[in-house]
Amino acid sequence: MGQLTQAVTPRGNSKAPAFKIPSLKAPNSFDGTQAHKLRGFIESFQLIFHNDPENFFSDRKKVLYSTSFLTGRAGKWIEPYL
């Protein structure tokens, strides 16, 4: 019985190997001149947020990160809210 217990008991560090989450490409900036690109712009952030929940755990972090990619008219529009 002792041999069976030793065979089943893990030795050393029994943690599973760390899994590295691949990073995603940063989205292109959005300036508001091509409204048809807005949906893709927003969806790219949804992928980033779901891929890295440890860094984007609050709405505030998500908003600050995503608004940093607004330029032109869209960037001017968001300025008063930051």
Tens-digit pLDDT profile for residues 51-60: 999 999 999 9
Q: Would residue 54 count as lying in a domain?
A: yes
Q: Would residue 64 count as lying in a domain?
A: yes
pLDDT single digits (tens) 23-52: 778 899 999 999 999 999 999 999 999 999
Burial track 24-52 (b if 16+ CB lie within 10 A, e otherwise): eeebeebebeeeeeeeebeebbeebbeee
Q: Would residue 75 count as lying in a domain?
A: yes
pTM equals 0.69
Structurally, the chain folds into a number of domains equal to 1
Q: Would residue 60 count as lying in a domain?
A: yes
Query: Which range of residues forms the domain containing residue 69?
Result: 30-82
Q: Would residue 49 count as lying in a domain?
A: yes
Q: Would residue 71 count as lying in a domain?
A: yes
